[in-house]
Chains A and B, each alone.
Chain A
């Protein structure tokens, strides 16, 4: 328990360094663009692939579980839509991103620490925590909502494809279902969640990488820790945010 409190204290001190005033806004702006490409744009592929299959599986499973002639077929589309909006395109995508960008951030910053690149920045008079981490936070928090919207769209398309190809639902029923009783707030709920999860992924991963000590073995361990801790925190805050936003 004491160790946990010490780590929590260090995390808050780390965040206070990260959110200090930038030395040179022009360089930070350039870094933000770079990080949007590295952490955001380069994640489009994996998010699209996973979302397509998520949508397909949700559609097939829903059809399998609603094989009752009394239940209308369009419920398959409705269920696929709400599942993607409420949970899959935010939480599951966040867990995927925790693995992809979380490990990348932790290993990148950890390697900079063990090869003295962070020391070099600090001796120059640069706030290394802010210079290395703030652009990543801004990039992920800014770009993650686009990934979620993409995931929703591609997931619905994947569900439609699976429905048509397997013949479990007609195109008309599916499209009617994804439009039926639509609650726009669900999109806001999903976006709020992914922004919070993006903040958790970047700060937890950066924190683990920034304070790594040792060599390449410890960098690998910090990368694993970053993924595990951020995944657990995503699941915990998923419950908290759901209670706050949907109750």
Chain B
């Protein structure tokens, strides 16, 4: 479980996160949603420690992460898997080597054991016959799946996904969403997904947190959204005519 207490973050000319508190639950897919520029990527970066917060506490399983020194932070980071927007696969390594990388870096297993684990992870995300290919030789959807395989290679306790559906067609997006959901339940990990894809919100959002202008504006489940009377949330979620019709149908 990850808990945020009164997180604030500002850049020289702007307050990006304003006193945000939330609890991200284990075994559930926690979605952070919001418009572009609302601060959700900065929030994600703060949670994983890529950005320092100005005030507040980030608590990983009762340990205050942002008060730790570099070495202790590294110990917690080894329990984190992250799926970046573009996949962030290492260009110079093959698909198989990308998945093996964290295993080789942080375990004392033999090459055969690492290879076995890497292949198991790749099979889990349905990557077949692409082990020897380089990231430049595979599609965007495959890159995301390889990145998920790499993120789960060390069996993390926390999985972060930054806009996992960006640049993907609707069908591939659904496959990625389902994969994230399945992995979360299978490994009982705390998953945090940063998205503005409404399909993801409805399909996999066990818990949804809406960020508006750097503040937490709403929190609930994906089914609660349909009954919500929060104007900012409704303007964001039900922006299209089709979505407005769905909303009026359910309410």
Listed in ascending order, the chain A residues whose CB lies under 8 Å from chain B are: 23-24, 26-27, 111-112, 115-117, 119-120, 122-126
Contact partner of A116 among B86, B101, B105, B106, CB < 8 A?
A: B86
Q: Which chain B residue lies CB-closest to A122?
A: B50
Q: Which of B97-138 contact A (CB under 8 A)?
A: 101-102, 104-106
Shortest CB distance B161–A (Å) = 12
Taking CB atoms, residues of chain B closer than 8 Å to A112 are 90-91
Q: Which residue of B lies closest to A38 (CB)?
A: B92
Q: A126 touching B105 by the CB < 8 A rule?
A: yes
Q: What's the Cα separation between A115 and B88 when bound, in Å?
A: 6
Report whether A27 and B88 are in contact in the complex, using a CB–CB cutoff of 8 Å. no
Q: How far is the CB of B193 from chain A (nearest CB, A)?
A: 16
* A125 in contact with B84 (CB, 8 Å): no
B interface with A by C-beta (< 8 Å): 48-50, 74-75, 77-78, 80, 82, 84-86, 88-91, 101-102, 104-106, 160
Q: How far is the CB of A170 from chain B (nearest CB, A)?
A: 51
**Which residues of B are found within 8 Å of A123, using beta-carbon distances?**
48-50, 77, 80, 82, 160
4 pairs of A and B residues whose beta carbons are closest in the complex: A125-B77, A116-B88, A120-B88, A125-B74
B104 A125 Cβ-Cβ under 8 A: no
Which residues of chain A come closer than 8 Å to B84, judged between CB atoms? 116, 119-120
Instruction: Return the chain A residue nearest B79 by Cβ.
Output: A125
Q: If the complex has contacts A116-B84, A119-B84, A120-B82, are A125 and B106 also in contact, measured as CB distance less than 8 A? A: yes
Secondary structure type dominating chain B contacts: mixed
Task: Report the Cα distance A117→B91, complex, angstroms.
Answer: 9
Count CB-based A-B contacts (< 8 Å). 52
Residues of A within 8 A of B86 (CB): 115-116
- Alpha-carbon separation in the docked complex, A115 to B84 (Å): 9
Contacts of A24 in B (CB 8 A): 104-106
- Within the assembled complex, what's the spacing in Å between the Cα atoms of A117 and B84? 9
Please indicate the chain A residues that have their CB under 8 angstroms from the CB of B82 in the complex.
Answer: 119-120, 123
B50 in contact with A119 (CB, 8 Å): yes
List the B residue with the shortest CB-CB distance to A20.
B70
Q: Complex: how many Å from CA A116 to CA B90?
A: 10
Q: How far is the CB of B217 from chain A (nearest CB, A)?
A: 27
Within the assembled complex, what's the spacing in Å between the Cα atoms of A126 and B106? 9
* A27 lies within 8 A of B105 (CB): yes
Question: Which chain B residue shows the least CB distance to A119?
Answer: B50
Q: In the complex, which residues of chain A have a beta carbon less than 8 angstroms from the beta carbon of B106?
A: 23-24, 124-125
Task: Find out whether the CB atom of B78 lies under 8 angstroms from the CB atom of A125.
Answer: yes
Measured CA separation A24–B106 after assembly (Å): 8
CB distance from B150 to the nearest CB of A (A): 8
Q: Which of A23, A117, A125 lies in contact with B88, CB distance below 8 A? A: A117
Partner of A124, one of B75, B77, B85, B91: B77
CA distance A24 to B77 in the complex (A): 16
Bound CA–CA A122/B160 (angstroms): 14
Instruction: Give A126 to B50 CA distance when docked, in angstroms.
Output: 13
A23, A117, A125, A126 — which one has the most chain B CB atoms within 10 A of its CB? A125
Task: List B contacts of A124 (CB < 8 A).
Answer: 77-78, 80, 101-102, 105-106
Chain A residues lying within 8 Å of B80, measured Cβ to Cβ, are: 123-124
**A119 to B105 CA separation, bound complex (whole angstroms):** 16
Given contacts A117-B90, A120-B82, A120-B84, contact A27 B75 (CB under 8 A): no
A124 to B147 CA separation, bound complex (whole angstroms): 12
Known interface pairs A27-B105, A122-B50; A116-B77 also in contact (CB < 8 Å): no
Q: How far apart sit A19 and B85, CA to CA, in the bound complex (Å)?
A: 31
Distance between Cα atoms of A112 and B87 in the complex (Å): 12
Is there an interface contact between B85 and A116, defined as CB atoms closer than 8 Å?
yes
Nearest Cβ distance between residue A192 and chain B, in whole angstroms? Answer: 32
When distances are taken between beta carbons in the complex, the residues of chain B under 8 Å from A116 are: 84-86, 88
Q: Output the least CB separation between B73 and chain A (Å).
A: 8
Give chain A residues whose Cβ lies under 8 Å from the Cβ of B77.
Answer: 122-125
Shortest distance from the beta carbon of A104 to any chain B beta carbon, whole Å: 12
Residues of A within 8 A of B49 (CB): 123
CB neighbours (8 Å) of A26 from chain B are 104
> Provided the pairs A23-B105, A125-B106 are in contact, do residues A119 and B78 lie with their beta carbons within 8 angstroms?
no
